[in-house]
Each structure stands twice: as structure tokens, then as C-alpha cells.
Amino acid sequence: MLLLVQLNGSREMTTTISSREFNQDAAGAKRAALDGPVFITDRGRPAHVLLSIDDYRRLSGEQRSLVDLLAMADDVEFTIPSSRELAQPAELD
């Protein structure tokens, strides 16, 4: 079953499949998740949701790591402090 829903002003395709269909065509479910959430049902009731990683990160508010930021195609500007700025005298008592 395919539904077209509007979330946050953008139109996304929503797919609903049974657990059996998911087990038989996991690759198809992953492809469908690129267009929107895929609801997986057990005995006709929604039990799981398959999302693309981008949708998951957007919904969870996950912060990206420095590695993710550096891997992005866009330029990222940041300043690395010198080690002298971080150094503090040791307190020996």
C-alpha cells in the first residue's frame, strides 16, 4: 500500500507492507524508504518503521560528528586552537 503524505511542508511517499512482504523483499523496502517511511505490520497492525538514515537523523536531531562534517561535499570552516591555548600550569600540592 502506498500513501502520499505531507510532513513539515514536504510531500513524502509512505509505504505499508506486511512482515512477510518485508522478509521476502527487504531490498524493495529499503528502496521505498528512500522516498519516505515504510510501515511494517504484524497481523495488520503497524509494528515497525523503516527510515533512511537521513530521515532518522533529521527526526532524532542527531548531531553529526566531525568525521561526518568533513565527509560532506560542502566546505566546513572551523578553527583548531593551538595547543598553547589549551595548556594550563599544573597545580601540585
Sheet bearing 10-18, strands edge to edge: 2-7, 10-18, 38-42, 45-50
Cell of 60: 532524532
Q: Which class for 29: exposed (0-12), middle (13-18), buried (19 or more C-beta within 10 A)?
A: middle
Q: pTM for this one?
A: 0.57
Q: In this model, does residue 54 exceed pLDDT 90?
A: no
pLDDT of 66: 72
Instruction: Confirm if 43 and 34 have CB atoms less than 8 A apart.
Output: no
Counting residues of the chain whose pLDDT is more than 90, the rounded percentage is: 38
pLDDT of 4: 43
Q: In this model, does residue 1 exceed pLDDT 50?
A: no
pLDDT of 45: 93
More confident residue, 52 or 91: 52
